[in-house]
Amino acid sequence: MSILSNQRIAVIVPCYNEALTIGNIVRDFNACLPQAAVYVFDNNSSDDTIAVARQAGAIVRSVPLQGKGNVIRRMFADVDADIYIMVDGDDTYDASVAPQLAEKLLAEGLDMVVGTRVTDEQEAYRFGHRFGNKMLTGFVATVFGNTFTDMLSGYRVFSRRYAKSFAAHAAGFETETELTVHALELRMPVAEVATRYGARPEGSVSKLNTYRDGFRILWMILKLFKNEKPLAFFSIGALASLLLSLGLALPLLDTYLQTGLVPRLPTAVLCVGLGLLAAMLLGCGLILDTVTRGRIEQKRFAYLQIPAPHYEVRRDIRSVA
């Protein structure tokens, strides 16, 4: 008997104008995980996504607030399960590995398993997206810890305690960054599994804009850096201000020691101002670091209130869908 047989499993699919692909996704996951309930969360599609999803056997929900992050917030809030399998609605991910990902999460007591993308098709994973992913993943690894190699993958498996402790502040495609940082911040047990990644079917169009969404993801990383590591963030500004102040002050000091005069008074005032700014930034960092530690502890306690993944007998999620 599979270790998944007594688990409530929900396949959750965020969708926007995916009528060409959503039917195949629902059928493939129903075939690979017949005990799972497949939820399609539609985000104001103007095509037949809802009708096709229902015809294929999915449970359809509508999310009026536009953006993938808004959809994920609703998915985690509205669906009650032991294991959440999230996959994009573009039919580029391999449904057949979903049981393997879920079993790994259960067997190793993990909170998130990321399906890293592996492909030889240039059209499936364009160079711009691949380069941007590596750059942004490397940035997050530098700031928050080197754990993931494919931070922006849309194929993930979550435990219940991950889903119910995720605040979901992001609105758009930057949500994958927030999903990653949430796990790193609480030091959750996580893993990656290489999965096949294919090209979109002909006629299906990507909703991701390389430059616009790349900038939004980078901006989200900076905001998370400020919010989750304020001491490091504000210390960078404090150090820059202090170095600039010293750089401007040294010539003034040399002139003063030689002549006893301070001929460039505005520069001296600027040096004092930069020194005060450095002290203020450092003070802000210290205060916010204390506040952040308390907030992280509260999030940790909320996370620990939900049991870790286990094999206890559960009733089928279809009975409460």
109 CB burial (10 A radius; 0-12, 13-18, 19+): exposed
Would the pTM of this model clear 0.75, i.e. be above it?
A: yes
Mean pLDDT of 231-248: 94
The verdict on 220 and 239 lying in the same domain is: no
The verdict on 123 and 270 lying in the same domain is: no
Tokens of 102: 């879920």
Q: What is the pLDDT of residue 319?
A: 47
Of the listed ranges 85-99, 154-168, 251-265, 304-318, the least confidently predicted one is 304-318
Q: What is the pLDDT of residue 117?
A: 87
Mean pLDDT of 220-238: 90
278 CB-near residues (< 8 Å, 6+ apart) = 237, 238, 239, 241, 242, 245
Last residue of a domain, one of 228, 257, 284: 228
Q: Is 122 helix (H, G, I), strand (E, B) or coil?
A: coil
Q: What is the pLDDT of residue 22?
A: 94
In a domain, 3, yes or no: no
Q: What is the pLDDT of residue 169?
A: 85
Q: What is the pLDDT of residue 315?
A: 47
In a domain, 264, yes or no: yes
The verdict on 78 and 15 lying in the same domain is: yes
Say if residue 85's pLDDT is above 60: yes
The verdict on 156 and 256 lying in the same domain is: no
Residue with tokens 């030689």, as numbered in its chain: 258
Q: What is the pLDDT of residue 281?
A: 95
In a domain, 212, yes or no: yes
Q: Is 196 helix (H, G, I), strand (E, B) or coil?
A: strand
The verdict on 32 and 111 lying in the same domain is: yes
* Domain carrying residue 215: 9-228
Q: What is the pLDDT of residue 270?
A: 92
Say if residue 260's pLDDT is above 70: yes
The verdict on 17 and 35 lying in the same domain is: yes
Mean pLDDT of 8-15: 95
Of the listed ranges 122-126, 147-151, 167-171, 191-195, the least confidently predicted one is 122-126
Q: How many domains does the chain have?
A: 2
